[in-house]
Amino acid sequence: MSLLTLYRPNFCADCGAKIVRLRWHLWTSRRFCGSCVKQFLKEQWLQPLLAGVTLLALGIIVGRAIRPAPPPLLIQRGAAVAATTKESSQPPPATVADEIYLCGARTKKGTPCSRRVHGPVRCWQHKGVPAMLPIDRLRIKE
């Protein structure tokens, strides 16, 4: 007899009727006849379902418990900032202030484009299109 042979009862565990099945499958009931299996279908699947949910929850809990802690967040400062924090004789590097302009080209709506650009040029969408406003009105004063 093979190890994979499952138990095949001859009589129903509920009503005692003789069980005759031509083919036995893993999903067919082993203990009940065809008329009694409908009554116990919920009970038949409830226990394995609860066992599966319990194992899943236990796996999640154990997995979270053994997960290593994340490394601490390190904020690294640039060399320029680190040099100014220490008392040194060198002044901080000068920042170059770009003048900010508006694009000013005519849009489909007929109004000047309000995108900010570096210098008196047009934005990527309006390259080559002349501005509607004079240069002094396109400069943004900050």
Is the pLDDT at 56 greater than 60? The verdict is yes
Is the pLDDT at 29 greater than 70? The verdict is no
Q: Is 0.75 surpassed by the pTM of this model? A: no
Is the pLDDT at 57 greater than 90? The verdict is yes
What pLDDT, in 10s, does the model give residues 81-94?
Answer: 555 555 556 666 66
Contacts of 139 (CB under 8 A, 6+ apart): 99, 100, 101, 120
| Residues 135 and 116 sit within 8 Å (Cβ to Cβ) | no
Q: What value, to the nearest 5°, has the Cα angle with vertex 26 and ends 25 and 28?
A: 65
